[in-house]
């Protein structure tokens, strides 16, 4: 699924040189993949102390410290205070039962600069009619939005 997502993002020229936010970062798989594909910077947002420790260990193991920021924060609260237009690509892999999932795209789109892309991984029980692109991978869907 990650390979398919990044193939779609790379084909849209959304990764190279991008300023990326990885929401619900966990161990950082999506953001670190973006770095490996040429993203300029990644801001990881994760609330779990254990996941954040694992994320920081992964960043150190890959030697990516200068290009990244790891923030311990609740994503919903962070979205309210994050600067508008500060990112070219926002990646979100929220828990499938996250109560904020239905409003996540609306809240995250304000972070994007013109031409920016939002990618949300979600359970097939949720659908986003306003997404520019959605693909199903088993029980998982990926939806993309592009800011003009």
| pLDDT confidence band for 148 (50 / 70 / 90) | confident
| pLDDT confidence band for 110 (50 / 70 / 90) | very high
Number of domains in the chain: 1
> What is each CA distance from 148 to 14, 20, 45, 115, 118, in whole angstroms?
13, 17, 25, 5, 12
For 53-87, how does the pLDDT look when each residue is reduced to its tens digit (9 = 90+)? 999 999 999 988 779 999 999 999 999 999 999 99
Q: What is the mean pLDDT of the chain?
A: 94
Domain limits for position 72 = 2-146
- At residue 138, what are phi and psi to the nearest 5 degrees? 65, -125
State the chain's maximal CA–CA distance in angstroms. 39
SS (H, E, C) the chain: CHHHHHHHHHHCCCCCCCEEEEECCCCCHHHHHHHHCCCCEEEEEECCHHHHHHHHHHHHHHCCHHHEEEEECCHHHHHHHCCCCCEEEEEECCCCCCCCHHHHHHHHHCCEEEEEEEEEEEECCCCCCCCCEEEEECCEEEEEEECC
- Beta-carbon neighbour count of residue 30 at 10 Å? 24
Q: What is the pLDDT of residue 126?
A: 87
Q: What is the pLDDT of residue 2?
A: 85
Q: Which residues pair with 46 in a beta bridge?
A: 72
Find the range with the poorest average confidence among 35-39, 63-67, 105-109, 132-136.
63-67
The predicted model scores a pTM of 0.95
Question: Tell me, what CATH number does 18's domain have?
Answer: 3.40.50.150
Q: What is the pLDDT of residue 24?
A: 98
Instruction: Give the separation between CA 33 and CA 136, rounded to whole angstroms.
Output: 20
Strands 87-92 and 19-23: parallel
């Amino acid at each position: 699924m990650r390979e398919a997502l990044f193939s779609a993002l790379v084909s849209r020229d959304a990764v190279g040189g991008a300023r990326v936010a990885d929401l619900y970062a966990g161990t950082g798989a999506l953001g670190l993949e973006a770095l490996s594909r040429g993203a300029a910077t990644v801001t990881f947002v994760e609330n779990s102390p254990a996941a954040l420790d694992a994320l920081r260990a992964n960043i150190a193991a890959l030697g990516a410290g200068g290009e990244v920021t790891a923030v311990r924060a609740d994503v919903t609260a962070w979205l309210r205070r994050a600067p508008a237009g500060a990112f070219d690509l926002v990646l979100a892999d929220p828990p499938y039962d996250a109560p904020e999932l239905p409003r996540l795209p609306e809240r995250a789109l304000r972070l994007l600069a013109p031409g920016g892309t939002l990618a949300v991984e979600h359970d097939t029980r949720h659908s986003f009619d306003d997404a520019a692109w959605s693909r199903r991978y088993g029980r998982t869907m990926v939806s993309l939005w592009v800011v003009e």
